[in-house]
């Protein structure tokens, strides 16, 4: 610096080097401490963010990803942070709704499978490539396929090209189609197939039904109509012939007129019996075959039936006896059981020989009433036994018509027994007689 007199002055300050080294060391220590404190604070902040924000958010993202991928859902923990807690509760509601919907779909699927499996008609569902995905046991049975076979194997095991062509044609045209197939295995039968396209998936569903039973019923119906027509035709022809004879002049001859009038009355009686038997069978085959039920003393009903058959038996020289070791009662239809006994006695008398005998026995066996009608008449060949309870079936048609039977008596016996929860069986041998045994449950 310069003074007032123009002289130059120099000021020099000095400090020992050791003091600067001490200051620098102090600053370094301060910086290290500050860095440590800053790192600790940053670590604490990071730890807090991880625990309170990032880790719960990562867990929520993982849970959402599992929900989206359809995996097994684990419990969703709701974070404490308000914003994340809202998201967690929303995911939890979404997960519950998903579980509910999946359970509903699974229940509906199981119900559908159980319904299809229990159907008597066969069902096959194929996908868009024509491969079966659902096949119920009835369908496999109709086509002779073992039940454990997988759905994908059914078409190959069925060995039915027309079934494969039907599925392919329906998928190609998107229109329903129906065919009938004759099958020889596991037994000869006719299968009706109705196929329809599945909208959306491009597949097809096939419904299969066995027509054997309906064809059998149609045959029974045709045979029944033919038999009734034939049975009606015979007495009507006789009545017409007698009436024409009377009209042509025989009415003026007293003896002839009486003879033909008696024939007309006899044929009218046969017609009345036939119609009464038909009405009885119709009632027995209805939904309510048994009329008002009541406790019945079977010994009294048997005695009444034997008494009613006495005149017919005496006219043929046949002895009818009743054996009842003890009183037996059941609950049932008195008229029906009396009709059953009368038909059995009538047959035993009709197909007997002069000097023969018929025994009606009433007893109780193991809680059931047993009604047995045994005769020592002409008997029945073994070949006829499986069919004698069919309507209009006659072992000897010529003799049956000569005797005036309708061919419905044993059919009525079978239906009356079944209507009371029981059954009927027969044992017979040609030339040695027949034994019919009716069992009725609930005897006291």
Task: State the DSSP string of 213-240.
Answer: HHHHHHHHHHHHHHHHHHHHHHHHHHHH
pLDDT band at residue 141 under the 50/70/90 scheme: confident
Residues 226 and 160 reside in one and the same domain: no
Inside any domain, residue 8: no
Residues 74 and 92 reside in one and the same domain: yes
pLDDT at 356 over 70: yes
Strands 368-375 and 433-441 come out as: antiparallel
Residues 45 and 123 reside in one and the same domain: no
pLDDT at 401 over 90: no
For residue 354, the SS3 value is coil
**pLDDT score recorded for residue 51:** 64
Find the mean pLDDT for residues 143-167: 87
Residues 417 and 298 reside in one and the same domain: yes
Inside any domain, residue 4: no
- Decide: residue 305, CB within 10 A, 0-12 exposed, 13-18 middle, 19+ buried: buried
Residues 367 and 415 reside in one and the same domain: yes
**pLDDT score recorded for residue 76:** 63
Selected residue with higher pLDDT from 27 and 21: 27
Residues 240 and 196 reside in one and the same domain: no
Residues 201 and 90 reside in one and the same domain: no
> Tens digits of per-residue pLDDT, 237-253?
888 888 888 887 777 77
> Tens digits of per-residue pLDDT, 55-66?
666 766 666 676
Selected residue with higher pLDDT from 367 and 106: 367
Residues 198 and 280 reside in one and the same domain: no
pLDDT band at residue 437 under the 50/70/90 scheme: very high
pLDDT at 348 over 70: yes
Query: What is the C-alpha to C-alpha distance for residues 139 and 130, in angstroms, rounded to an integer?
Result: 16
Residues 382 and 402 reside in one and the same domain: yes
Query: Which of these three, 73, 92, 115, is where a domain ends?
Result: 115
Q: Tokens for 4, please give them.
A: 């007032």
Inside any domain, residue 10: no
Strand extents, DSSP E, 81-167: 122-126, 132-135
pLDDT at 80 over 70: no
pLDDT at 311 over 60: yes
Query: Which of these three, 260, 284, 308, is where a domain ends?
Result: 284
> Tens digits of per-residue pLDDT, 83-123?
666 766 776 777 777 778 877 877 877 777 777 777 778 89
Total number of domains constituting the chain? 4
pLDDT at 3 over 60: no
CATH code for the domain of 172? 3.30.450.20
Inside any domain, residue 263: yes
**Lowest-confidence range among 19-23, 315-319, 386-390?**
19-23
Inside any domain, residue 348: yes
- Per cent of the chain over pLDDT 90 is 9
Inside any domain, residue 24: yes
Inside any domain, residue 289: no
**pLDDT score recorded for residue 409:** 82
Selected residue with higher pLDDT from 208 and 215: 208
Give the domain range for residue 237.
218-284
Query: Which of these three, 60, 81, 115, is where a domain ends?
Result: 115
pLDDT band at residue 290 under the 50/70/90 scheme: low
CATH code for the domain of 259? 1.10.287.130
Strands 423-429 and 357-365 come out as: unpaired
Strands 319-323 and 357-365 come out as: parallel
Handedness of CA 281, 286, 292, 295 (dihedral sign): positive
Find the mean pLDDT for residues 266-282: 78
The separation between the first and the last C-alpha atoms of the chain, rounded to the nearest angstrom, is 150
Inside any domain, residue 234: yes
**pLDDT score recorded for residue 95:** 74
CATH code for the domain of 309? 3.30.565.10
C-alpha Rg value of the chain to the nearest Å: 49
Handedness of CA 49, 51, 52, 54 (dihedral sign): positive
Residues 64 and 104 reside in one and the same domain: yes
**Lowest-confidence range among 40-54, 111-125, 294-308?**
40-54
pLDDT at 315 over 80: yes
Report the 10 Å Cβ neighbour count for 164.
Answer: 15
Residues 154 and 193 reside in one and the same domain: yes
Residues 302 and 406 reside in one and the same domain: yes
């Amino acid at each position: 610096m310069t003074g007032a007199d123009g002289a130059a002055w120099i000021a020099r300050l000095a400090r020992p080097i050791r003091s600067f080294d001490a200051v620098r060391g102090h600053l370094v220590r301060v910086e290290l401490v500050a860095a440590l404190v800053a790192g600790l604070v940053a670590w604490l902040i990071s730890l807090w963010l991880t625990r309170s924000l990032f880790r719960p958010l990562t867990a929520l993202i993982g849970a959402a990803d599992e929900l989206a991928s359809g995996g097994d859902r684990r419990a969703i923990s709701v974070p404490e942070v308000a914003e994340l807690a809202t998201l967690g509760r929303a995911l939890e509601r979404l997960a519950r709704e998903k579980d509910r919907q999946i359970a509903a779909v699974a229940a509906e699927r199981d119900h559908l499978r159980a319904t299809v499996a229990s159907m008597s008609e066969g069902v096959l569902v194929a996908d868009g490539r024509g491969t079966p995905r659902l096949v119920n046991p009835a369908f496999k049975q109709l086509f002779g396929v073992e039940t454990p076979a997988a759905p994908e194997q059914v078409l190959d095991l069925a060995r039915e090209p027309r079934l494969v062509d039907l599925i392919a044609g329906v998928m190609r045209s998107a229109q329903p189609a129906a065919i009938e197939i004759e099958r020889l295995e596991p037994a000869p039968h006719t299968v009706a197939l109705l196929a329809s396209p599945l909208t959306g998936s491009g597949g097809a569903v096939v419904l299969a039904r066995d027509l054997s039973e309906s064809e059998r019923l149609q045959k029974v119906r045709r045979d029944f109509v033919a038999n009734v027509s034939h049975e009606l035709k015979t007495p009507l022809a006789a009545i017409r012939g007698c009436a024409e004879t009377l009209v042509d002049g025989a009415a003026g001859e007293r003896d002839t007129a009486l003879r033909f009038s008696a024939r007309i009355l006899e044929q009218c009686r046969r017609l009345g019996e036939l119609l009464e038997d038909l009405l009885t069978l119709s009632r027995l085959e209805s939904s309510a075959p048994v009329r008002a039920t009541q406790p019945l003393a079977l010994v009294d009903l048997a005695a009444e039936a034997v008494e009613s058959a006495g005149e017919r038996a005496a006219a043929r020289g046949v002895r009818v006896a009743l054996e009842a070791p003890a009183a037996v009662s059941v609950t049932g239809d008195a008229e029906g059981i009396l009709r059953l006994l009368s038909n059995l006695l009538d047959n035993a008398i009709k197909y007997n020989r002069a000097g023969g005998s018929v025994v009606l026995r009433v007893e109780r066996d193991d809680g059931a009433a047993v009604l047995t009608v045994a005769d020592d008449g002409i008997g029945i060949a073994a070949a006829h036994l499986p069919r004698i309870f069919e309507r209009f079936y006659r072992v000897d048609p010529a003799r049956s018509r000569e005797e005036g039977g309708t061919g419905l008596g044993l059919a009525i016996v079978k239906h009356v027994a079944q209507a009371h929860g029981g059954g009927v069986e027969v044992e017979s041998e040609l030339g040695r007689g027949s034994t019919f045994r009716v069992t009725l449950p609930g005897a006291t």
